[in-house]
């Protein structure tokens, strides 16, 4: 998408949003049907709606409504993308449009479910997936609207209700997402409260929601503190933990394609996705050639004193990411150290050593440290160290099957991508369902409707076997 097209979309949507933002603020006191200031009220409505949704709507009716919801939301992907960037001051409008479309088009629905039937000498056993009930969903600022859409589709497909607790810096865009979802659901006669959000984003409210007696499952996407709170709530939890994904490029990689893929993945939404390439580990004999291709395809390299200026800007005194620059455009970051570059620049490339904070920390900005290694073996050992055992995501570009297999086995990451941008692993150019909650900590992996259901077994002894 061209820069001029993006600017026109932003201007148009912001004009349309003027009245809507005001109505969102007003709804905090008027208590719109999708938005609650009180946790007890939200959960009470969710409990009532969930029972009706589970028992009074057939599988075919659920599928029809969810398919219709997807079609309805496609008309609002641009609006939600603009609002997400305005709300959070992070990311890129064009990439958030892509995220929203991905969440709508590739999140699986009720069709994902199957029933397992086993027969034997003693009769028939059925195992089916059943809803938990009311789910508390803690959503991040990095993918706010896409996460609400993705989680809504997954959770209600399984017969659940959901109450969202949005990140404090993503309240408006999250509420607007819930408003649109409810606008369609209520038009189809679905009871109020099936999908709702807390309007006041505080830690106290999130804690109260997670520990509410009628909340049966917690889905938490965010920093270590959020996941820890979910796991200590005493409820079943789906926790998306931290990551620091390395990507290795060995001497057998197709370097021009690799350069384009790494830049595309690293720069997508300004490196906000937890799966995005965070550090580049390259076998030295191809490093210079790879770098040339990267500089031809949207990367800008910093050297010498400019690297130190960058570090002073994007790192705090204790070597942690400066939150003021999380999710900012590469052009903006470079401008703030006095370097003007074309809008086509998407990634800042910096040669670094393993111990560098840019390598060790999950920066969540389009700054890509490149570390040279003598061979694949050294690169693999380094990748294991800098990933810190999070077992979140990693990637490799190679045509050596042994190297690809060895890294996949050694890293033990929830997501491992070979010869593609990282975002292919969540369905953007990859043949897999979309997930914006990657449950690394609790082991469910990229979530689907199955993740938000529990297995129930029913046995009939001595009958219904036909052979």
Question: What pLDDT, on a 0 to 100 scale, did the predictor assign at position 203?
Answer: 87
Query: Tens digits of per-residue pLDDT, 109-168?
Result: 999 999 999 999 999 999 999 999 999 999 999 999 999 999 999 999 999 999 999 999
Domain membership flag for residue 439: no
> How many domains, the chain?
2
Q: Are residues 280 and 178 part of one domain?
A: no
Same domain, 228 and 117: yes
Instruction: Write out pLDDT tens, residues 25-55.
Output: 443 434 567 899 999 999 999 999 999 999 9
In a domain, 109, yes or no: yes
CATH number of the domain encompassing residue 257: 3.40.309.10
Mean per-residue pLDDT for 417-436? Answer: 96
467 in a structural domain:
no
Same domain, 260 and 191: no
Same domain flag for 225 and 302: no
- Give yes or no for residue 85 having a pLDDT over 70: yes
For residue 19, pLDDT beyond 70: no
- pLDDT at 184 exceeding the cut of 70: yes
pLDDT given for residue 290 in this prediction: 99
Cα angle: 464, vertex 466, 467; to 5 degrees: 135
Among 88, 105, 201, 190, CA closest to 145: 88
**Catalytic annotation on 453?**
no
* Confidence (pLDDT) at 25: 45
pLDDT at 1 over 80: no
Q: What is the pLDDT of residues 169-183, one digit of tens each?
A: 999 999 999 999 999
* Residue 29: per-residue pLDDT: 36
Residues 318, 227 share a domain: no
In this prediction, residue 10 has a pLDDT band, given cuts at 50, 70 and 90, of: low
**Percent of residues, the chain, with pLDDT higher than 90:** 86
> Where is pLDDT greater, at 426 or 14?
426
pLDDT band at 99 (very low <50, low <70, confident <90, very high): very high
Whether residue 258 sits in one domain with residue 229: no
Same domain, 295 and 157: no
* pLDDT for the residue 7: 57
Q: Which two tokens stand for residue 432?
A: 């897999």
426, part of any domain? yes
- The whole-number pLDDT of residue 16 equals 55
Residue 204 belongs to some domain of the structure: yes
- Work out the average pLDDT over 194-222: 94
User: In the beta sheet, which residues pair with residue 65?
Assistant: none
Residues 189 and 282 in one domain: no
Residue 160 lies in a domain: yes
Return the CATH number at 66: 3.40.605.10
Read off the pLDDT band of 208 (50, 70, 90): very high
Rounded Cα–Cα distance for residues 234 and 443 (Å): 17
The answer as to whether 331 is a domain residue is: yes
Quick one: 337 and 361 in the same domain?
yes
Structural domain of 315: 246-430
pLDDT at residue 396 is higher than 80: yes
Tell me: do 145 and 205 sit in the same domain.
yes
> What would the mean pLDDT of 441-453 be, rounded to a whole number?
95
123/219 same-domain check: yes
- Average pLDDT, stretch 290-306? 98
Quick check: 223 pLDDT over 90? Answer: no
Q: For all residues of the chain together, what is the average pLDDT?
A: 94
Instruction: Please indicate, yes or no, if residue 315 is contained in any of the structural domains.
Output: yes
Per-residue pLDDT at 464: 86
Same domain? For 382 and 449 the reply is no
Mean pLDDT (whole number) for 316-334: 98
Q: Give residue 373's pLDDT.
A: 99
**Annotated catalytic residue: which of 35, 173, 178, 274?**
274
């Amino acid at each position: 998408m061209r820069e001029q097209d993006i600017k026109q979309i932003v201007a148009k949507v912001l004009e349309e949003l003027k009245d809507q933002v005001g109505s969102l603020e007003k709804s905090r006191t008027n208590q719109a049907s999708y938005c609650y200031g009180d946790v007890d009220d939200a959960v009470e409505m969710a409990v009532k709606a969930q029972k009706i949704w589970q028992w009074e709507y057939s599988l075919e009716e659920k599928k029809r409504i969810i398919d219709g919801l997807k079609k309805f939301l496609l008309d609002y992907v641009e609006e939600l993308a603009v609002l997400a960037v305005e709300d959070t001051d992070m990311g890129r409008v064009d990439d958030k449009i892509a995220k929203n479309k991905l969440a709508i088009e590739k999140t699986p629905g009720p069709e994902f479910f199957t029933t397992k039937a086993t027969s034997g000498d003693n009769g028939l056993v059925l195992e089916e997936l059943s809803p938990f009930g009311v789910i508390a969903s803690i959503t991040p600022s990095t993918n706010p609207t896409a996460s609400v859409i993705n989680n809504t589709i997954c959770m209600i497909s399984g017969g659940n209700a959901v109450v969202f607790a949005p990140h404090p810096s993503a309240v408006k865009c999250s509420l607007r997402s819930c408003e649109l979802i409810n606008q369609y659901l209520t038009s189809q006669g679905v009871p109020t409260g099936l999908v709702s959000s807390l309007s006041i984003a505080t830690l106290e409210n999130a804690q109260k929601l997670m520990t509410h007696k009628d909340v049966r499952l917690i889905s938490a996407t965010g920093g270590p503190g959020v996941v820890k709170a979910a796991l200590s709530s005493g409820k079943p939890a789906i926790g998306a933990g931290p990551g620091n994904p390395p990507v290795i490029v060995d001497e057998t990689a197709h370097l021009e394609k690799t350069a384009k893929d790494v830049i595309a993945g690293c720069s997508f939404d300004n490196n906000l996705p937890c799966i995005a390439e965070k550090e580049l580990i390259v076998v030295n004999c191809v490093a210079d050639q790879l770098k040339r291709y990267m500089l031809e395809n949207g990367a800008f390299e910093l050297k010498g004193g400019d690297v130190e200026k960058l570090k002073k800007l994007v790192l705090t005194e204790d070597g942690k990411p400066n939150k003021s620059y999380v999710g900012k455009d590469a052009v903006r970051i470079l401008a703030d150290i006095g370097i003007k570059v074309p809008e086509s620049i998407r990634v800042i490339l910096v040669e670094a050593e393993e111990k560098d904070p840019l390598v060790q920390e999950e920066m969540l900005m389009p700054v890509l440290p490149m570390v040279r290694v003598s061979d694949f073996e050294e690169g693999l050992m380094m990748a294991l160290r800098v990933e810190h055992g999070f077992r979140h995501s990693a990637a490799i570009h190679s045509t050596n099957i042994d190297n690809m297999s060895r890294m996949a086995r050694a890293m033990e990451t929830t997501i491992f991508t070979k010869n593609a941008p990282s975002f292919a692993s969540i369905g953007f150019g990859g043949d897999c369902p979309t997930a914006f909650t990657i449950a690394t900590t609790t082991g469910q992996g990229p979530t689907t409707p199955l993740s938000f259901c529990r297995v129930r077994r029913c046995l009939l002894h001595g009958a219904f076997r036909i052979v």
